[in-house]
């Protein structure tokens, strides 16, 4: 009794599971949202893992440099794909070195180009080496009698070979070299090659050599054999020059091992030789007098100064110092001036906190459309800039990935691994290209011809996709093996159709490279800039009116029912205006609309139709579907045919909207990338747009990343491979990001059921 605590009338409480209440709430929230974020976390993890690779390969042990390279690479990837970047605004402090140099040495605008070249050369060599070159040249200039620049060049060029052969050896060879130099060069060359090929000097060789060089009698066999090997390696002319320059060194009381001699050899190896070294020395002295120790930074400031002159922000061409001191501050105050990589500028006269800089797509003779070149917003001393052209490129690149991803996902929904999207792309394109350029259809207007081309592409893909479907349904042949084989058949078939010359089938005889004829204009997908904004407004109005018509009974009783149709019309019109605004390079085509329609149709088919329900049921459990009266063979054929049709549509859009002709091996793995896109989207048609945009963004930004960070473009392939791995093995992501086991993802498709499954 004494050991029990006295009751106070209060019920003891224990801490809730998961720790303190705030932490428990966070844990529950994470458990709810984490499964949906697995694809996003897979992408983030892949991007993080590649950072050490860049640090090791680019940084070469320098942690700070490697981290900077990784940051540069990802910022370039973001800019190249989405067009977003943060750049510094130009300030007077950015040109402090240039101002110091201009005040130390009078400079005019016309001097900047030459000065920039000299400073760039100095930056490549380095201030320390330039100083060393200057000391060596001063040493030789101060020697008694002096040597001309040509003589110094000749001496420097021979010092490495003199060092290799050895001054003592060359001194010992002098009589032999003199005799051989006076003999016939052809005989010397032939005899030297003959003697150099043997291990011991024969009596016949010595006799032949003595006939050419009487001094050979003064050497023993071992030395003579070694000397003739040197003659064979260097040639008698080069050896004569070496001996001459060795005499020059001897007269100067120098040896080849002295630092001055070795530095002279370095100078002679420069592109501009002695003259270039003197220019480097003079430039280094110029910078030292101005108190500048970083020629690379000064080189960038010289480029920036030239850009400021070209933009008319600086006008005093006779005095650069006065221009930088008096004109630059008010110019930067009155204008937005953003410094881009490579010291290029974005200038908006009178720019405010945010704005858009437009450019005209036409010429002076034919004015074109005003398109947005840059959108910017000030961020303190920096600016957030957006280049619509880059986003336009990503959208165009993503369209085929989205539709091809839908093709693979539809097969996955039926439990089938359609790895043949690559071949179906080609076959759909063959059908589409023939309908697109054939004279049989040339009379058709766009409104008839283009739908026919798209339908032909879908039909070609469906036929090629139905083949493995029929074999799977009636023979049990595994679709993975069949579709892989059909890929190669399709690729080689297209190659033959285009390259065939007797007879000509799909090839264009007038083309310099193997390709099909170009599509007729009526078979080409229109681009958003082909039409004015009024068209998109009209389409929005039509959409609103059609939706109002379908809801007319509801609208009569309740006007609030009209809100949704009107909003839908406004969204359509706004989307049209947005895509028109984004069409900077004239590349964004109506395939984007087809892509959205395909996503909606596939989602509607799978979730709102009986055939879609049967297809998903067969994919989930064929035995249960068969027991319920569903035809498994029919659904297998239907799934692979529809999957092939979507792949054919993807190829057709790429041909009709971008390439406008068909070339052998044009798609280059697009069908295989579609598998990754489908996995990343979790086979959900609504997620396919985001997954396709990511894939298109990675490929669109890879080029700029390679240029800016000097990293191989294959890094993007590494990122893609890691994403696929983390999606396929999502247990890694759940472990790394602490996704609770109770929140494990369900509904992951069975992409292959085994042989005959």
pLDDT value, residue 495: 94
Instruction: Report how far residue 161's alpha carbon sits from residue 361's, in angstroms, rounded to the nearest whole number.
Output: 60
Alpha carbon distances (Å) from 359 to 87, 343, 440, 585, 682: 20, 20, 42, 11, 41
pLDDT value, residue 481: 94
- How confident is the model over 188-201, as a mean pLDDT? 87
Please determine, for residue 1, whether its predicted confidence score (pLDDT) is greater than 70: no
Residue for token digits 């959205």?
596
Q: What is the mean pLDDT of the chain?
A: 89
Please determine, for residue 272, whether its predicted confidence score (pLDDT) is greater than 90: no
Instruction: Report how far residue 379's alpha carbon sits from residue 647's, in angstroms, rounded to the nearest whole number.
Output: 45
Identify the weakest region by mean pLDDT among 248-262, 283-297, 601-615: 248-262
pLDDT value, residue 90: 94
pLDDT value, residue 616: 94
Instruction: Report how far residue 494's alpha carbon sits from residue 651's, in angstroms, rounded to the nearest whole number.
Output: 13
Residue in 156, 155, 158, 151 with CA at minimum distance from that of residue 234? 158
pLDDT value, residue 5: 46
3-state class of 374 per DSSP?
A: strand
How does pLDDT run across 372-417, given as a tens digit for each residue? Answer: 999 999 998 899 999 999 999 999 999 999 999 999 999 999 999 9
Residue in 491, 512, 461 with CA at minimum distance from that of residue 668? 491
- How confident is the model over 490-517, as a mean pLDDT? 92
Alpha carbon distances (Å) from 555 to 518, 540, 542, 565: 49, 19, 17, 10
Q: Count other Cβ atoms within 10 Å, centred on residue 264.
A: 27
**Tokens representing 404?**
């091809």
**Polymer length in residues for the chain:** 757
In eight-state DSSP terms, residue 15 is P
**Tokens representing 234?**
């260097």
- How confident is the model over 19-23, as a mean pLDDT? 66
- How confident is the model over 262-266, as a mean pLDDT? 92
Please determine, for residue 198, whether its predicted confidence score (pLDDT) is greater than 90: no
Question: Could you tell me where the beta strands, DSSP code E, fall in 293-343?
Answer: 335-340
Confidence of residue 575 (pLDDT cuts 50, 70, 90): very high
Q: Count other Cβ atoms within 10 Å, centred on residue 110.
A: 11
Confidence of residue 662 (pLDDT cuts 50, 70, 90): very high
Please determine, for residue 750, whether its predicted confidence score (pLDDT) is greater than 60: no
Residue in 101, 102, 104 with CA at minimum distance from that of residue 322? 102
Please determine, for residue 297, whether its predicted confidence score (pLDDT) is greater than 70: yes
Instruction: Report how far residue 408's alpha carbon sits from residue 570's, in angstroms, rounded to the nearest whole number.
Output: 33
Residue for token digits 């049209």?
576
**Tokens representing 24?**
């428990």
Q: Count other Cβ atoms within 10 Å, centred on residue 161.
A: 19
pLDDT value, residue 19: 52
Phi/psi at 656 (nearest 5 deg)?
A: -80, -25
- Percent of the chain past pLDDT 70, that is, above it, reads 94
- How confident is the model over 444-465, as a mean pLDDT? 96
Instruction: Report how far residue 365's alpha carbon sits from residue 573's, in angstroms, rounded to the nearest whole number.
Output: 32
pLDDT value, residue 450: 96
Residues 6+ apart with CB under 8 A from 536: 572, 573, 575, 576, 577, 580
- How confident is the model over 221-237, as a mean pLDDT? 90
pLDDT value, residue 515: 93
Residue in 504, 487, 469, 517 with CA at minimum distance from that of residue 426? 487
- Percent of the chain past pLDDT 90, that is, above it, reads 66
pTM: 0.84
pLDDT value, residue 32: 81
Instruction: Report how far residue 18's alpha carbon sits from residue 7's, in angstroms, rounded to the nearest whole number.
Output: 28
Q: Judging by beta carbons within 10 Å of its beta carbon (0-12, 13-18, 19+), is residue 586 exposed, middle or buried?
A: middle
**Are 384 and 578 a contacting pair, CB within 8 Å?**
no
**Tokens representing 674?**
């579609």
Bridge partners of 340? 344
Bridge partners of 737? none
- How confident is the model over 465-482, as a mean pLDDT? 94
Residue in 613, 640, 627 with CA at minimum distance from that of residue 416? 640
**Tokens representing 521?**
């204009």
- How confident is the model over 55-73, as a mean pLDDT? 83
Instruction: Report how far residue 95's alpha carbon sits from residue 114's, in angstroms, rounded to the nearest whole number.
Output: 18
**Are 349 and 311 a contacting pair, CB within 8 Å?**
no
Identify the weakest region by mean pLDDT among 100-109, 328-337, 550-559: 550-559
Rg (CA), the chain: 38
Bridge partners of 349? 335
How does pLDDT run across 70-127, given as a tens digit for each residue? Answer: 999 999 999 999 999 999 999 999 999 999 999 999 999 999 999 999 999 999 999 9
Residue for token digits 């929140």?
743
Instruction: Report how far residue 680's alpha carbon sits from residue 692's, in angstroms, rounded to the nearest whole number.
Output: 9
- For 687-692, which contacts have Cβ atoms below 8 Å and span 24 or more sequence positions? 687/39, 688/402, 688/405, 688/406, 688/409, 688/599, 689/398, 689/402, 689/595, 689/596, 689/599, 691/39, 691/401, 691/402, 691/405, 692/398, 692/399, 692/401, 692/402, 692/403, 692/405
Residue in 485, 488, 486, 456 with CA at minimum distance from that of residue 648? 456
Bridge partners of 384? 86, 377
Please determine, for residue 4, whether its predicted confidence score (pLDDT) is greater than 70: no
DSSP letters, 509-550, are: TT-SSS-PPPPPGGGSPPBGGGS-HHHHHHHHHHHHHHHHHH
pLDDT value, residue 271: 84
Confidence of residue 34 (pLDDT cuts 50, 70, 90): confident
Confidence of residue 14 (pLDDT cuts 50, 70, 90): very low
**Are 206 and 221 a contacting pair, CB within 8 Å?**
yes
- How confident is the model over 212-230, as a mean pLDDT? 88
Please determine, for residue 275, whether its predicted confidence score (pLDDT) is greater than 80: yes
Confidence of residue 20 (pLDDT cuts 50, 70, 90): low
Please determine, for residue 6, whether its predicted confidence score (pLDDT) is greater than 70: no
Q: Judging by beta carbons within 10 Å of its beta carbon (0-12, 13-18, 19+), is residue 60 exposed, middle or buried?
A: exposed
Residues 6+ apart with CB under 8 A from 142: none
Confidence of residue 751 (pLDDT cuts 50, 70, 90): low
**Are 432 and 400 a contacting pair, CB within 8 Å?**
no
pLDDT value, residue 145: 61
């Amino acid at each position: 009794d004494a050991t029990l605590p006295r009751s106070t009338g209060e019920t003891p409480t224990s801490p809730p599971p998961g720790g303190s209440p705030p932490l428990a709430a966070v844990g529950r929230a994470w458990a709810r949202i984490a499964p949906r974020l697995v694809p996003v976390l897979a992408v983030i993890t892949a991007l993080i893992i590649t950072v050490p690779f860049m640090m090791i390969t680019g940084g070469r042990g320098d942690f700070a440099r490697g981290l900077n390279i990784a940051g540069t690479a990802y910022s370039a990837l973001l800019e190249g794909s989405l067009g977003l970047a943060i750049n510094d605004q130009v300030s007077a402090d950015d040109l402090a070195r240039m101002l110091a140099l201009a005040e130390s040495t009078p400079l005019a605008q016309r001097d900047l180009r030459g000065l920039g070249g000299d400073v760039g050369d100095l930056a490549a060599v380095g201030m320390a080496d330039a100083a060393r070159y200057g000391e060596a040249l001063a040493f030789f200039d101060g020697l008694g009698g002096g040597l001309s620049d040509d003589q110094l060049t000749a001496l420097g060029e021979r010092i490495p070979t003199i060092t290799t052969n050895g001054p003592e050896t060359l001194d010992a060879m002098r009589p032999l070299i003199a005799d051989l130099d006076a003999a016939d060069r052809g005989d010397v060359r032939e005899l030297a090659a003959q003697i150099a090929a043997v291990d011991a000097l024969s009596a016949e060789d010595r006799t032949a050599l003595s006939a050419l060089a009487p001094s050979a009698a003064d050497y023993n066999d071992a030395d003579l054999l070694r000397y003739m090997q040197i003659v064979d390696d260097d040639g008698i002319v080069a050896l004569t020059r070496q001996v001459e320059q060795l005499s020059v060194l001897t007269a100067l009381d120098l040896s080849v091992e002295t630092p001055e001699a070795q530095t002279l050899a370095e100078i002679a190896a420069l592109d501009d030789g002695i003259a270039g070294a003197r220019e480097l020395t003079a430039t280094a002295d110029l910078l030292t007098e101005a108190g500048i120790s970083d020629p690379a930074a000064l080189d960038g400031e010289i480029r920036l100064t030239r850009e400021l002159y070209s933009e008319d922000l600086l006008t005093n061409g006779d005095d650069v110092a006065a221009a930088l001191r008096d004109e630059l501050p008010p110019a930067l105050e009155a204008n937005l001036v953003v410094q881009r990589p490579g010291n290029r500028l974005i200038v908006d006269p009178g720019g405010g906190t945010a704005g858009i800089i437009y450019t005209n797509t036409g010429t002076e003779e034919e004015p074109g459309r005003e398109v947005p070149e840059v959108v910017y917003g000030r961020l303190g001393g920096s600016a957030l800039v957006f280049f619509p052209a880059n986003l336009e490129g990503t959208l165009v690149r993503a369209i085929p990935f989205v539709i091809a991803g839908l093709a693979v996902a539809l097969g996955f929904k039926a439990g089938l691994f359609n790895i043949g999207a690559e071949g179906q792309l080609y076959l759909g394109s063959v059908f589409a290209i023939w309908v697109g350029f054939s004279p049989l259809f040339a009379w058709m207007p766009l409104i008839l011809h283009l739908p026919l081309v798209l339908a032909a592409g879908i039909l070609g893909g469906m036929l090629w996709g139905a083949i493995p479907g029929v074999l799977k349904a009636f023979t049990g042949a595994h679709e993975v093996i069949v579709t892989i084989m059909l890929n190669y058949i399709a690729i080689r078939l297209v190659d033959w159709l285009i390259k065939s010359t007797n007879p000509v089938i799909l090839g264009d005889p007038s083309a310099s490279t193997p390709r099909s004829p170009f599509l007729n204009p009526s078979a080409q997908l229109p681009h958003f800039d082909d039409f004015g904004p009024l068209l998109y407004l009209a389409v929005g109005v039509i959409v609103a009116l059609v939706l109002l018509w379908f809801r007319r009974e509801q609208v009569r009783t309740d006007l609030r029912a009209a809100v949704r149709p009107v909003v839908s019309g406004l969204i359509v019109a706004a989307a049209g205006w947005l895509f028109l605004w984004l069409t900077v390079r004239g590349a964004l085509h109506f395939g984007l609309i087809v892509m959205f329609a395909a996503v909606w149709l596939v989602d509607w088919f799978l979730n709102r139709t009986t055939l879609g329900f049967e297809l998903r049921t067969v994919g989930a459990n064929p035995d249960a579907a068969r027991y319920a009266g569903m035809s498994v063979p029919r659904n297998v054929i239907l799934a692979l045919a529809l999957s092939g049709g979507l792949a054919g549509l993807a190829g057709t859009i790429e041909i009709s909207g971008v390439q406008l002709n068909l070339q052998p091996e044009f798609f280059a793995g697009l069908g295989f990338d579609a598998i990754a896109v489908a996995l990343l989207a979790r086979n959900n048609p609504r997620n396919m747009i985001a997954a396709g945009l990511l894939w298109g963004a990675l490929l669109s930004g890879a080029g700029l990343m390679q240029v800016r960070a000097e990293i191989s473009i294959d890094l993007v392939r590494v990122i893609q491979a890691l994403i696929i791995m983390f999606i396929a093995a999502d247990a890694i992501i759940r472990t790394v990001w602490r996704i609770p086991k109770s929140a494990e993802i369900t509904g992951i498709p069975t992409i292959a059921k085994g042989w005959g499954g």
